[in-house]
Amino acid sequence: MIFNEVEVSAVTQANRLSVIIPAFNEGDSLRVNLRKLQVLRSRGYEVILIEAGQCNLDSDETAEFCDLILQSERGRARQMNLGAKSASGKWLLFLHADTHLPADFDLIISKILSNRSFFWGWFDVRFDADGFVYSIIAKFMNLRSRLTSVSTGDQTLIVNRDFFWKLNGFADIPIMEDIELTKRLRRHAKPVLMKGFVTTSARRWQKEGVLRTVLLMWLLRFLYFIGVSPKLLVSYYYKS
């Protein structure tokens, strides 16, 4: 189904979407991402930035790029909940500062939000780095999410605002907040996998090494699965 600009605008206004971006001392990657989002703002979408560190945008960029900038304690769950409380949209999209939406996002989301049976979903992910290994990692991440109906923050969660708050939003935990929430969401509504891919940064994988990062992620998810506290897990994550 193809939407023209008038149809897209009408759908967007009827199903206003708020893009919520948690950030911590982000630099150029955030600036590039915000520039890309301006075309969506021109069509009625809202962009909310929640900073937990120093905002590296100057005052002119702040006014130009965002509808609202909030200051928060560090922690993605707290930041995203704060952004969601201030959002005016019927739909919430939680976007990492270094993850970029598909170029045709407006067309993809307009069709999805017109579906009354849609409550939440996510995108397949790919990395911004060349190489067979990154392609394989992304394929396994996407397959895992399809099989379990559990997604990670890199895959860009989209959720109905009323549904989100009915389940009390993100749990106030320092890590695994995306896993925890989507496990609760899947118990109440079937997720929808969006068409297209979001593109996320491979910088951690490149800095720490692919094998080491894969093993760390597996270990953290296993420990979380068997009941280890996220407060303990976060210390492993940032020590690595």
Query: Domain extents for the chain?
Result: 5-202
The burial class, CB within 10 Å (0-12 / 13-18 / 19+), for 152 is buried
Chain centre to alpha carbon of residue 123 = 9
Sign of CA dihedral 34, 107, 87, 229: negative
For 91-146, the pLDDT digits (tens) are 999 999 999 999 999 889 988 888 888 999 999 999 999 889 999 999 999 999 99
Domain 5-202, architecture per CATH: Alpha-Beta Complex (3.90)
Task: Tell me the C-alpha distance between 18 and 150, whole Å.
Answer: 22
Task: Tell me the C-alpha distance between 214 and 137, whole Å.
Answer: 8
Phi, psi angles (nearest 5°) of residue 195: -80, 150
Type of residue at 212: R
Give the range among 19-23, 33-37, 55-59, 142-146 with minimum mean pLDDT. Answer: 55-59
pTM: 0.88
| Cβ neighbours for 211, distance < 8 A, ≥ 6 positions apart | none
